[in-house]
Amino acid sequence: MSTFTLLFLFMLMVSIGLRLWLSFRQIEHVRRHRNKVPGSFTDKISLDEHQKAADYTVTKTRFGRWPLIYDAALLLAWTLGGGLQWLDQSVISMQFGPIVTGIIVILTFMLISSILELPFSIYSTFVIEEKFGFNRTTAITFIIDMFKGAALGLLLGLPLLFAILWLMGQMGDMWWIYTWILLSGFSLLMMWIYPIWIAPLFNKFEPLEDGETLNRIKALLERCGFSSKGVFVIDGSKRSSHGNAYFSGFGRNKRIVFYDTLLKMLNDDELEAVLAHELGHFKKKHIFKTILISFSTTFVGLAVLAWLMKNEWFYHSLGISTPSTYMALLLFAMISPVFTFVLSPIMSLFSRKNEFEADAFAAEQTDAQHLVKALVDLYRENASTLTPDPVYSAFYDSHPPAPVRIAHLNSHA
């Protein structure tokens, strides 16, 4: 066995072991706090609601271990188990050109993988979400979403994949710089067209009706000097009763989007506070910084890939006999999460810092207590646990744990 095979197996064990350990910690921690609502929430969340959140969290976390083990087994079967090698050799024997061969191999791999993953998303939507009363998706919506997603993926992904494989084959040692420019441009383009063309394929967008709510929102936008292409409501209730709000697009193409479920959960004061928080992300340049980080990560990733693909041991140690550009790309995409999971607390830390800043912004623009009330309503309605394990949370949560976040907001009140 080569050194790289051993390193890969070791890192796979570390990341699976770490994830399982985190999931045990989370379940244990949530269970231990199940019988008592944390101090600062006693007058806002009932014991029943707190216990529902605990049970929901435990159920999801426990279920999450199955795909974890299953995915690791699949990764091994594809690589060292010879799955990809078999697929690759079968397609090579059809004697297409290198790009077409690559596209067939990658698409076949993606098709098989998504079929193998399907049972988990079906179970999570129609069993877990259903059991806790959140699911609104019908079988028909689920199937239509799946096909629309696949069609859209092909329409956008295929030309991109073709271009990347072409650059990898034709541009010599500098291919990864060109690919980086292409990928960065592509993701900016996606951000630009997502609100106008893509999101409306999945949801109905309607302008927020005139009235007190809209007036409050407009006044806030004006106060913060924020221009947008309108405030919209989407039918999130078609799929789930979880509530949400987001911004999309950039430049002059920004849209503010509220889920209809959120409008039902919150009153005008609370909605204004939630929007002020989201505006905070813009005003504090979080969106811009996030894009910058993502571009730099891609840059480093591609540089590593460019180096790896020149070494035959990279392919051989992952069960592939014939080196090729597409196989380097595919192997790299498959195994990099195994090596990067240990770094996830760094990203969470960055994200939490942003959340605190956006909360502080909201506290300046509106009343911190309105945001506290909105958050408590959201924790309750979404059955989010108030007592996550701190270590688990450091790896997985982009937002600070509820008590920490509320305490921070109260300090601004």
> What residues make contact with Zn ion under the rule CB under 5 A?
355, 358
Dump strand ranges (E) for 185-289. 205-207, 231-234, 245-248, 255-259
Instruction: Say if CB 189 and CB 250 are below 8 A apart.
Output: no
| Residue with smaller CB distance to Zn ion, 268 or 397 | 397
CB of 371: closest distance to Zn ion in angstroms? 11
Burial of 383 (C-beta count, 10 Å sphere; 0-12/13-18/19+): buried
Q: Residue 278 catalytic?
A: yes
Q: Identify the three-state secondary structure at position 240.
A: strand
CB of 255: closest distance to Zn ion in angstroms? 17
Burial of 366 (C-beta count, 10 Å sphere; 0-12/13-18/19+): buried
Instruction: Say if CB 185 and CB 243 are below 8 A apart.
Output: no
| Residue with smaller CB distance to Zn ion, 195 or 280 | 280
CB of 87: closest distance to Zn ion in angstroms? 42
| Residue with smaller CB distance to Zn ion, 136 or 277 | 277
Q: Which of 359, 377, 381, 389 is catalytic?
A: 359
Q: Which of 88, 278, 355, 377 is catalytic?
A: 278
CB of 63: closest distance to Zn ion in angstroms? 27
| Residue with smaller CB distance to Zn ion, 270 or 355 | 355
Q: Residue 359 catalytic?
A: yes
| Residue with smaller CB distance to Zn ion, 231 or 306 | 231
Q: Write the DSSP symbol of residue 256.
A: E
Angstrom distance (rounded) from CA 274 to CA 296: 30
Cα dihedral sign, 317-320-321-327:
negative
Instruction: Say if CB 101 and CB 326 are below 8 A apart.
Output: yes
The 3 state secondary structure assigned to 109-168 is HHHHHHHHHHHHHHHHHHHHHHHCCCECCCHHHHHHHHHHHHHHHHHHHHHHHHHHHHHH
CB of 354: closest distance to Zn ion in angstroms? 7
CB of 38: closest distance to Zn ion in angstroms? 21
| Residue with smaller CB distance to Zn ion, 42 or 398 | 398
Catalytic residues: 278, 359
